[in-house]
Amino acid sequence: MGSSTFSLSLILMLTASMLAVSMANKDWHFGFNYTNWPFKGGPPQSQNDIPGPRKIVVGGSENWQLNFNYTDWALKNGPFYLNDTLVFKYDPPTNDSTIPHSVYLLPNLWSFLTCDLRRATMVANTTQGGGEGFEFVLKKWQPHYFACGERNGYHCKAGQMKFFVMPLFRQWH
Ligand X SMILES: *[C@@H]1O[C@H](CO)[C@@H](O)[C@H](O)[C@H]1NC(C)=O
Nearer Cβ to Cu ion (91/150):
150
Interface mask toward Cu ion for 38-77; x: CB under 5 A: ----------------------------------------
Name 85's bridge partners. Answer: 55, 137
Alpha helix stretches (DSSP H) within the chain: 3-22, 70-77, 109-114, 154-157
Q: Are strands 162-165 and 144-147 parallel, antiparallel or unpaired?
A: antiparallel
Q: Are strands 103-106 and 144-147 parallel, antiparallel or unpaired?
A: antiparallel
Cα gap 83→112, rounded to integer Å: 23
Cα gap 112→138, rounded to integer Å: 18
CB of 96 to ligand X, least distance (A): 7
Residue 91 touches ligand X, criterion: CB under 6 A = yes
Site for Cu ion in 75-134 (CB under 5 A): 101
Residue 135 touches ligand X, criterion: CB under 6 A = no
Please choose, from the candidates 80, 164, 79, the residue with its C-alpha nearest in 3D space to the C-alpha of residue 115: 164
> Which of ligand X, Cu ion, none has residue 116 at its interface (CB below 5 to 8 Å by kind)?
none
Residue 85 touches ligand X, criterion: CB under 6 A = no
* Binding-site ranges for ligand X (CB under 6 A): 27-28, 33, 35-36, 69, 71-72, 75, 82-83, 91, 94-95, 97-98, 125-128, 160, 169-170
* Binding-site ranges for Cu ion (CB under 5 A): 101, 148, 150, 155, 161
